[in-house]
Amino acid sequence: MTPFCSPLVDFQRYHQMIINAIARLERTVMQMIDNRLPAVALAQPVVAPVTPPSPQVTLQLKTLDISDTLLEYHSGINGGAALREQEETMGTSWRSGKAESRFFRRRGTIYNHLDELIGEGMTFEAARERIMSLYTESRCTSVHQFGGWMDSRQQQEEGARTRARGRPRGRGRGSQR
């Protein structure tokens, strides 16, 4: 004769089966860990070389004065990297769009003049003062306008140098063959 099974007894058996299954699974996992532990413990950690992220560079499109523009190019402002360094290391890829490229191009004459003055042996501060005095002399009302003024000034100086050297001799008008 089979003993009478109540729903409570069935539940207790089912509950015990689940507990036993969990215990078996736990033992299996522990054995797997124990078997792999020596290999994991002896293995050298693999560490990928960490390269610090390059500072986010954004051209300040609303720079108000020439001093900030020069500082942004030479040293960086607001925690950003220097635009000069970004141009040297990354070329134009750091520029995020057409607007930044256009602004950088417009300011390029100013940046080039700063680099020339520093290349001649001036300190950044002295070069900045020289460019700021040119800005005052130009009576420009914006950095972009000053960049245009610098362009025209540079062209005039190059034209004066060419005229000072005289016309090259050759087969031009009036030359004899």
pLDDT in tens, 129-173: 999 999 999 898 888 888 888 888 888 888 877 777 765 555 555
Domain range enclosing 126: 66-164
The tally of domains found in the chain comes to 1
Asked if residue 111 is part of any domain, the answer here is yes
Token look-up 């190019």 returns 73
87 lies in some domain: yes
Interval 17-50: pLDDT, tens: 888 888 888 888 888 777 765 554 445 555 556 5
The answer to the question of residue 82 being in a domain is yes
Query: Would you say residue 122 has pLDDT above 80?
Result: yes
- Whether 36 is covered by a domain: the verdict is no
User: Looking at the predicted structure, is the pLDDT value of residue 56 above 70?
Assistant: no
Predicted TM-score (pTM) above 0.75? no
Domain assignment of residue 59, yes or no: no
21 lies in some domain: no
